[in-house]
Amino acid sequence: MKDTVLIYSGGIDSTTMLYEYQDRIAIALSFDYGSNHNKNELPLARKNCERLGIKNVVINLDFIGKLFHSSLLEGADKIPEGNYNDANMHSTVVPFRNGIMLSIAAGLAESEGLRYIMMANHAGDHTIYPDCRPEFVAGMNEAVKQGTFEHIQLWAPYTGLTKTDIVKRGAQLGIDYADTWSCYKGGDVHCGKCGTCMERKEAFLQAGIPDPTIYKE
């Protein structure tokens, strides 16, 4: 039963969710908000949706790039290098990004007669991103339920999983992870040195699965 709107970036986590829950997802909702890597993610998001026959809606949130402060919005040279959980990765936080996107998803879900919205946060996000933590998921779920006539619910089944867990699931589903994007610098290929590239490399290594990604370094 198609009853769900998925927040879909085109990265590993949300792509795995797209494939795993394809029978439930009516709309994959993507956002162009001025990040360094939107140009890399969005075509891959469209490609995976076309492959599965899932409607991909892209919404422009250019006000975020114009008004919010984050290294994710300020060019490749502003993106810190190192491990994903290092303190310097805090500069990549886009303030309340998931809250904004989920609010739009809730409105779209109610307009389309759907019952759930989904996000693909995971355990590795919790240290850095406050709008990925279990407390945020619980609070946002309650807000969405109370703010919609049909009591739409937020569904975040990967909250307790690691990136390695997610890659293992994707491998079992036969996902081609070459058609996903992680690098925050947004070059022609993955840089191999920023936090999200390091996390991507580590996930494939720990999962014991060949990494199809082309890295600059």
pLDDT, tens only, 133-149: 999 999 999 999 999 99
The tokens of 124 are what?
């590795």
Coil, helix or strand at residue 32? strand
**Domain boundary assignment for the chain:** 4-207
Question: Mean pLDDT, to the nearest integer, of 47-61?
Answer: 98
**pTM, full prediction:** 0.96
Crossing angle between the packed helical segments 97-111 and 134-146, to the nearest 10 degrees: 30
| Region 4-207: CATH code | 3.40.50.620
pLDDT, tens only, 23-43: 999 999 999 999 999 999 999
Cβ–Cβ under 8 Å, residues 89 and 59: no
Strands of the chain, DSSP E: 4-7, 25-32, 55-60, 116-118, 153-155
pLDDT range class, residue 128, cuts 50, 70, 90: confident
Closest of 185, 155, 208 to residue 37, by C-alpha:
185
Using alpha carbons only, how large is the chain's radius of gyration in Å?
Answer: 16
